[in-house]
Structure 1
């Protein structure tokens, strides 16, 4: 019996020394940003692996938000993007408090002058004009400069008769610019009318989120409307709509799949499939290699 007790004490002591003696076991130093938590399934994802998967969760398929520059990089052919109108920047026409501070903060965060980046490029060798809204710049809101940059890109595509691709990621019109922001809905839509009259292809790609004035204008006017998986698409927020109409909303309201079922979009694609699908559409509509 005494031997059993002695052996038991020995094992307990060994356990304490190996696992409970904090002084002898140094904590592991894990660098910040090494892992990212998925907002959908809560999985801890290795950041480098997530980058390789185009910021799509390998466990649940959730599509993380990405900036305009990264979107362009994963969509167009390497070293073919030529940006235009990059020097345009907003003022404060209504003299809204703190608007300049918010703009400067957004510029530092994204290294851009505005929430829209556009220019010419090729996709699998097919030339096009491409523009992307950046949700990291004041939630991709459409102010007077964003509307102007979108319109100028549309006009370039019309003049050169080159296909236009616009990626939307926006919370809507920029409230700090009031009516000057809201009028961009009409301006961009009017420019698309002339693009259509010229017989030029326009592909709209709606990413998460595409809402408000952007969803109610150029984002919904594509000859082909594509939604990225897990994107939220709609005008007003679901909570606001429910409070207004005093009715329960359908399941999965404003999801990409819901919009496909109701005919608002033509395709719902994973981020991995967008680039090759765009190339096929450009080829199908008469694209020529450069």
Structure 2
């Protein structure tokens, strides 16, 4: 009887625990990958998906970022129907693209369009790492190029939010050619006096970092963003030296003059609006000259 008593007690003790697990719906809470704090998703969303404990900036989907950036009801999407093909007949490539379309509601790894930021007009491209890790294939390069050319004709400034693992291997040299195409489009845009603001988010790597992401008149980044071309391990093996712990972070690049400013997500819309306002000839809105933003190659 004593044995039976303990068996029953054990059974009784484990059932509520299992039931409690089942009663927590998926998507209600999230654990910060940096500080491991558990937060309600609703609270996290209220703070623009930035951990209030350690400041970690969660990656954003392209549509979430557009909602946060542009004034309500002003954003118009470009080239929604443009989709990738499989020029190299890469196995299962089309199936993977289809899965990413369902997952992100995007047709490709970049969202392009135009809208207003606190009343200031701008054209923009917003990359989404949830779609093939934000890799740049032919359609991504084409959509960004078309957006830049549209902005040039319409007299709009350009903002590009980078989030990418680099060129898309399934499209081979066609993917690599997008580096040259987007860079050439930006050169023509700049030669005609266009303003280009680059915002690098986590991660901005490979061919994207080596092309349009680094060509801004203003180069901004979100805190903690990984920014670089080759991977850390490859560089260490090549040069035979150990790199600093903060190597290839936004803060490291700012310290070495490759960025103009690292901007908190909560301040980003305000900073962009002020830059757009200055270059549109409007009021500086209380712009602080101590921010030391450098405008380069403006004609």
Taking structure 2 as the reference length, what is the TM-score of the superposition? Answer: 0.88
Equivalences, count: 273
Q: Does 1:22 align with 2:13?
A: yes
* Deviation at residue 25 of structure 1 after TM alignment: 5.8
> What's the RMSD between the two structures over aligned residues?
1.9
For the residue of structure 2 that corresponds to 1:66, the secondary structure is: coil
The structure number with the bigger radius of gyration is 1
Q: Could you tell me which of 141, 145, 148 is aligned with 2:139? A: 145
Q: What does the per-residue CA deviation read over 1:135-178, in whole Å, with 9 as the maximum and x for residues that have no partner?
A: 00000000001000000001011111111100000000000000
CA positional deviation for 1:287: 5.6
- Where structure 2 has 5 or more consecutive residues not aligned to the other structure, the ranges are 1-8, 284-299
Matched residue, 2:30: 36
Q: Displacement of 1:285 after TM fit?
A: 0.8
What secondary structure does 2:228 align onto?
A: coil
Q: Quote how far apart the aligned CAs of 1:79 are.
A: 0.6
Aligned to 1:9: none
Return the alpha-carbon distance in structure 2 between the equivalents of residues 148 and 38 of structure 1: 35
Structure 1 residues without counterparts, runs of 5 or longer: 1-16
Alignment of 1:2-151 (within 5 A): 22=13, 27-28=19-20, 29-151=23-145
Question: In the superposition, relative to structure 1, how do residues 204 and 183 fare at CA in structure 2: closer, same or farther (>3 Å)?
Answer: same
Instruction: Find the counterpart in structure 2 of residue 3 from structure 1.
Output: none
- Within 1, Cα distance between the matches of 2:135 and 2:248? 19
In 2, distance between residues paired with 1:238 and 1:81?
38
Q: Does 1:196 align with 2:187?
A: no
Q: Which of residues 238, 242, 246 is equivalent to 1:248?
A: 242
- Please say if residues 127 and 287 of structure 1, whose CA atoms lie closer than 8 Å, have aligned partners that are also in contact: no
Higher alpha-carbon deviation: 236-245 or 26-35: 26-35
Give the 3-state SS of the residue equivalent to 2:100 in structure 1.
helix
Task: Give 1:250 shift.
Answer: 2.2
The 1:284/1:100 distance shift into structure 2, 3 A limit, reads: same
Equivalent residues of 1:55, 1:63 under 8 A apart:
yes
- Does residue 214 of structure 1 match 2:208? yes
Segments ≥4 residues shifted beyond 6 Å: none
Give the TM-score of the pair, scaled to structure 1: 0.90
Q: Distance in 2 between matches of 1:117 and 1:24?
A: 47
